[in-house]
Amino acid sequence: MLMKHAYVVFWTFFLFVSLRDSVGIAAQIFSKDPFEDECDKPPYKVTTCAENSNKEVWYYNKSAGGCILFNGGGCDRNVNNFPDKVTCEQACDPPFYTLEQAEENS
C-alpha cells in the first residue's frame, strides 16, 4: 500500500511540474514580444526636441557587435542609452566565461 501511495505522489508531482513549465513556455511563444531585446532597439526615436541634442551617450549596436558613442538623442529615448561605455557593455554585451574541462588524473 505504501508503494502505491509513493507512485501516486510521484506522478502527481511530475504532472504538476510538466503543466507548470508548459504554461510558462506557451505564454512566451504566444505573446506579442516573447523575447524582446532592449539592446537591439535603436538608441532613440527621431524627434524635433532640442533638449539633450548635444549630450554624448552610448548605445549598443548589434550589427557592429559593441557599444557606440553618439551625440544627441532628443527627448524620446529608450533603454538603449547609457552614460558611458562600461555601463553599456555591462548591460548589453556582458562577458561570458566557459568552464574548461578538468583534466583527469590517471
For the segment 30-60, what is each residue's pLDDT rounded down to a tens digit?
555 555 677 888 776 555 566 556 678 888 9
Place of cell 533603454: 79
pTM for the structure as a whole: 0.50
Alpha-helical runs (H) found in the chain: 2-30, 85-92
d(C-alpha 50, C-alpha 74), whole Å: 6
- Write out the CATH class of domain 38-92: few secondary structures
pLDDT digits (tens, 9 = 90+) for 56-97: 888 898 888 899 998 765 666 678 888 899 999 988 877 776
